[in-house]
Chain A
Amino acid sequence: MANVQLAKNLWSMKFKAPEIIEEYFGAGQFISILVCDTWEHPLRRPMSIADVKGDCISIIYKTVGAVTKSLAKMHPGDSINVLGPLGNTFTGWEDGRDSILVGGGVGLAPMLNLHKMVKTSTIIIGARTSEEHFLSHSPQEGIFLTTDDGSIGIRGTVIPTLESQVMSKQNPKIFACGPEPMLKAVQSFALENQIPTQLSVESYMACGIGICQGCAIKKTEKEGIMRQTYHEKYDLVCVNGPVFSAEEVTFD
């Protein structure tokens, strides 16, 4: 059990969850955490699984609001209410030589999980500055860090690095998770260059199990869609995702 700060506003928590691991089937899946017993903050927080080892799960979270800040104050021995595993997984990543993983912010969590499975893969991690990074920039090991201000790794967004990595692979495949602007950029690069790509998206959720219909995401428009339909225009991130192919979804 551990709850440690990794970088600026970025924390990692490891806890025992044998029942969840029993049903866990791969990187991309998430859990939903109820941090506060009181009703001040009613909703669970969906968080990607960053690692599974023995009977422990790790998550990576960003301290942004009251809930995640109180999560950061928890100690080994405390207990939290966790629902999961939820959602689908990344697929087709088995050949690591061709897999390029892209992560940003807490979107790094599922990418680290996937990175562990495909050891030879390339991972590109984006952040604004060096203080948001906690790994070392080490291109020879396939780990590329980028920063907006160039304070560590390669200056700029993840996209130029992604481009050069794609050029170096025979049959490149992209797997990405991060803030929406990053996913949008990865998506348009992937579609333009016709590279098979899977995106793990974030969303506000009330239930995490397909009941509330709250976490709708727009599907890419298809021809001939009828006016009165159900789930032809929107998918639910919690049960249809969080992993979607780049062709499937549209960010507004």
Chain B
Amino acid sequence: MTDLRIKIGDITFSNPVFTASGTFGYGTEVSDLTDVSKLGAIVTKSVTLFPREGNPPPRVVETPAGMINSIGLANVGVERYIREMIPLYDNIGTKVIMNIAGTTLEEYCDVLEKVEVISSNICGYEINISCPNVKKGGMQFGVDSSMTEALTAEMRKRTERLIIMKLSPNVTDITSIAKAAENGGADAVSAINTVVGMSIDSETGKSQIYTTYGGLSGPAIKPIGLATVHKVYQSVNIPVIGLGGITTGLDAVEYLLAGAVAVQVGTATFRHADAGEQIINELHQFGDSKSIEKISSLTGAVKTYTK
């Protein structure tokens, strides 16, 4: 049987399949539909300093092989998150990565500090610097290398836990942002957040999302995700976590080959809450059929025609 364990920083994960932020709540809501403990890790919905209502509807729309969302970081806020969610992680049976979003450097730091001073089994933080759907949702960090580096460094000063910077594909050169995260002291980067998209109903002439543009996810963006992961993998020495349109074990394999150490499953979870579990099973099947000893041997092993 293939060894699915992978390592990021000092942490060993039981397998490389995580949930993607915003598609699995805080990790505790769907336990009756899937065995959460099977997952390599849960990445929570973005948590901000204060509670957020999110954007007005319509917030989601289906598009060919994908969907556009513009939720607007609706979340309970860090105080309530600490009070109500963190205690539930004691018996969750898997690793928890808390996703943090903010509008200013201070806000990101405040959220992280509030969680750092309490005891919890959160193993790391994914820092959302790439939300496309709120005016000040961190995107100003995600498009700017020096701000990315500064934010990463500030986070690094404040925690020993994993720091994963979540990168946006909606930039001119993602590799420079990835390098900035590495220079700032990040343990890993995750890519890609959603791709800016738009949907129009020709019948009514209406834009289908309140904020006009939203974030495109699902199989429609898988090729973009693969190319991005491959580019980032070649430009940094820290692990890359790949996401964007993963719905099967073979999709996950493709991301690993492109250079990912682990993957996150998002939109697929909306169709089947146990999508992550299925993907883990399919990874095992793939590993067995190819007699792969360690899944980590796949990382970056893609054969390209040119260097």
A72, CB-defined interface residue at 8 Å? no
Interchain CB contact under 8 A, B74 and A228? no
Cα of A42 to Cα of B270 in the assembled complex, Å: 9
Also in contact, A228 and B54, with CB within 8 A (given A41-B62, A211-B29, A211-B270):
no
Which stretch in A103-111, A152-160, A230-238 binds the other chain?
Answer: A230-238
Chain B positions 35 through 55: 1 when the CB is less than 8 Å from some CB of chain A, otherwise 0? 000000000000000111111
**Distance between B253 CB and nearest chain A CB, rounded to angstroms:** 17
A214 adjacent to B71 (CB under 8 Å): yes
Q: How far does the Cβ of B46 sit from chain A's closest Cβ, in whole Å?
A: 11
User: Once the chains bind, are A212 and B69 in contact (CB under 8 Å)?
Assistant: yes
Let me know if A204 and B61 touch, CB within 8 A. Answer: yes
When distances are taken between beta carbons in the complex, the residues of chain A under 8 Å from B218 are: 39, 42
Say if the beta carbon of A217 comes within 8 Å of chain B: yes
* CB neighbours of B267 from chain A (8 A): 42, 206
Indicate if B80 sits at the interface (CB-CB under 8 A).
Answer: yes
Chain B contact residues: over half helix, strand or loop, or mixed? loop
Given the contacts A42-B218, A212-B270, A217-B57, A230 and B67 also touching, CB distance less than 8 Å: no
Q: A62 at interface (Cβ–Cβ under 8 A)? A: no
Give the size category of B's interface with A.
35 or more
State whether the Cβ of B117 lies closer than 8 Å to any Cβ in chain A: no
What residues of A have a CB within 8 angstroms of the CB of B219 in the complex?
A: 39, 42
The answer on a CB contact under 8 Å between B65 and A42 is: yes
User: Does A215 have its Cβ within 8 Å of any Cβ on chain B?
Assistant: yes
Given A228-B51, A234-B53, the answer on whether A206 and B60 have CB atoms closer than 8 Å is yes
Partner of B60, one of A34, A39, A210, A214: A214
Query: Interface code B14-50, partner A: CB below 8 Å = 1, 0 otherwise?
Result: 0000000011110001100100000000000000001
With A41-B62, A203-B57, A230-B77 as known contacts, state yes or no: A213 contacts B71, CB within 8 Å.
yes
Q: Considering the complex, give the chain A residue whose CB is closest to the CB of B60.
A: A214
Is A216 located at the chain interface by the 8 A CB criterion?
A: yes
Report the minimum CB–CB distance from A222 to chain B (whole Å): 13
Q: Does A40 contact B (CB under 8 A)?
A: yes
* Complex interface bits, B140-180 against A, C-beta within 8 A gives 1, otherwise 0: 00000000000000000000000000000000000000000
Q: Is A43 an interface residue (CB 8 A)?
A: yes
A229 within 8 A of B: yes
A211 partner residues in chain B, CB cutoff 8 A:
23-25, 29-30, 269-270
A249 to chain B, nearest CB (A): 11
A sample of 14 inter-chain contacts (CB < 8 A) reads A40-B64, A42-B65, A206-B60, A207-B269, A209-B33, A211-B25, A213-B59, A214-B69, A215-B57, A215-B60, A218-B57, A228-B50, A228-B51, A234-B56
Q: Chain B interface (Cβ within 8 Å of chain A)?
A: 22-25, 29-30, 33, 50-62, 64-67, 69, 71, 74-77, 80, 218-219, 247, 267, 269-271, 273
A interface residue numbers (CB < 8 A to B)? 34, 39-44, 203-207, 209-218, 228-234, 252
